[in-house]
Amino acid sequence: MMNIHEENLISGKVLAVSLSSTHTFSKKNIDKIKLVAGFGVEGDAHFGSTVKHRSRVAQNPNQPNLRQVHLIHSELFEELKAHFDIKPGQLGENITTQGINLLELPTDTILYIGEEAIIKVTGLRNPCPQIENFKPGLLQAVLDRDSEGNLIRKAGIMGVVLKSGEVNPEDSIHIQLPAKPYRKLERV
């Protein structure tokens, strides 16, 4: 997996794309998804310019939707495979990537995916308790602590769609880092 601190062009690929029209925990793998600027994944339950996550809607339904697209690195599945058999889409992501350490990307990183789609990274996914209903023990497995005791969330990143376009498995992903100083990803 390529490290973001390398000065070379950073790239990876799309391993799978998934969506669910209802608020299910897992999403179905499909042949392609359509990203719509300012709204997210067409046909997905989280599609919209304002927040769609049920607990956040209950707090304030007018919040901007900073969680339009959920991406997870397939390398997480490899890390977990000793205890959990996880397949793309099962953790609720829309795009499963390969070859990019998503968790090291700074806030506001731009992802160019396929021929046209552009996503801006907004932050980390905060794994919810539903993950325990999916596989007991998985919540603890996707959380960690750094040497200073700070919580590390490993369940992927969130983004907003800047430019519409189709995303397909095997599409390339190219990364444009924001201007320095980089802002570390925080929970959104």
Q: Is the pLDDT of residue 37 over 70?
A: yes
pLDDT, average across residues 156-163: 98
Complete domains list, the chain, with CATH: 11-176 (2.40.33.20)
Please tell me the distance from the alpha carbon of residue 72 to that of residue 78, in angstroms, as a whole number. 12
- pLDDT confidence tier of residue 12, bands split at 50, 70 and 90: very high
Q: Is the pTM of this model over 0.75?
A: yes
User: Scanning the structure block, which residue is given the tokens 């369940």?
Assistant: 155
Nearest to 17 by CA among 83, 79, 98: 98
pLDDT tens, position by position, 81-124: 999 999 999 999 999 999 999 999 999 999 999 999 999 999 99
Cβ atoms of residues 63 and 56 within 8 Å: yes
List Cβ neighbours of 144 (8 Å cut-off, separation of 6 or more).
Answer: 151, 152, 154
- The pLDDT of residue 9: 55
Nearest to 48 by CA among 28, 26, 66: 66
What is the helix (H) or strand (E) element at residue 146, kind and residue range?
Answer: none
Percent of the chain with pLDDT over 90: 85
Query: Residues 44-66, buried b or exposed e (16+ Cβ, 10 A)?
Result: bbbbbeebbbeebeeeeeeeebb
